[in-house]
Structure 1
Amino acid sequence: MEPWEMREWYAEYLDACNRHDLDAIRSFVDPSVRRAHLPGGAAAWVTDMADLFQGFPDWRWRRIQLVVEDDRVAAHLRGSGTHLGPFRGIGPTRRHVNVAEFAMYRVTNGRITEFTGSENDLELRAQLGRAER
């Protein structure tokens, strides 16, 4: 894909994420996607998203910066939402959280085949008042 196509592709992916459309999200992810330090595969990706959306039904990402080079997309995002459901063993706190996220994607044939990014679990837990891991 050309850089402008990658930018459009990423905008569509982020839109699917912000709509919490798990089927659409799955269509952007290769079935055997590799994720650094996380379980691989599209099923694990979608499960993690579903868990996030259950805990934070209003979760949204805002794109800060996007860099495209060859088959790579680097994104700086702000993710935020209100903790209204269970999330990773923490009951709803009704707290609003806001975290910086940095992600690097490798895209092949319109699907994410590799992902690495910042770990925001500790920051989320701290903002929920549960800093222990």
Structure 2
Amino acid sequence: MEPWEMREWFADFLEALNRHDVERVREFLHPSVRRAHLPAGADAWIADYANLLHGFPDWQWKRIQLLVEDDRLAVHLRGGGGHTGPYAFVAPTRTRVSIASFAMYRVECGLIVEATGTDDAAQIRSAIA
């Protein structure tokens, strides 16, 4: 993919995340996607995202910065939502959470094959604890 195509590809991925369309999100993931310090595979990624949406049903991501180099994306996002459902064994607190997220993705044939970045779950847990 050309850099402009990667930018459009990421915009589509972010739109699927923000619509909470987990099946569409899955279409962007290689079945055995590797994630730093997290279980590998698209199923694990989707399960983690579904857990986030269970605790924060209005969660949205906003792109702050996106850099493209060859088959890699560097992304700075801001994510947030209201804690109205259970998340990480914490009952709903009604706390509004806003986090900064930094991630690197390697993309092959339109699928994320590797991902690494900040531990968003840890940031979220600390905001509601």
TM-score interval (norm. to shorter): over 0.9
User: In 1, are the aligned partners of 2:79 and 2:98 still within 8 Å (CA)?
Assistant: yes
Residue of structure 1 equivalent to 2:54: 54
Tell me, in whole angstroms, the C-alpha distance in 1 between the residues paired with 2:43 and 2:8: 24
Unpaired segments ≥5 residues, structure 1: none
User: In 1, are the aligned partners of 2:88 and 2:125 still within 8 Å (CA)?
Assistant: no
Query: Is 1:68 the counterpart of 2:68 in the alignment?
Result: yes
Partner of 2:104: helix, strand, or coil? strand
Residue of structure 2 equivalent to 1:37: 37
Percent identical pairs in the alignment equals 58
Alignment of 1:73-112 (within 5 A): 73-112=73-112
Deviation per CA, 1:7-54, whole angstroms, max 9, x where unpaired? Answer: 000000000000000000000000000000000000000000000000
Deviation at 1:120, TM superposition (A): 2.6
Q: Which residue type is aligned with residue 59 of structure 1? A: W
| TM-score of the superposed pair, with normalisation by structure 2 | 0.98
Tell me, in whole angstroms, the C-alpha distance in 2 between the residues paired with 1:27 and 1:50: 15
Instruction: Write out the 4+ residue segments of structure 1 that deviate beyond 4 Å after TM superposition.
Output: none
Q: Which residue type is aligned with residue 111 of structure 1? A: L
Alignment of 1:15-34 (within 5 A): 15-34=15-34
Q: State how many pairs are aligned.
A: 129
Unpaired segments ≥5 residues, structure 2: none
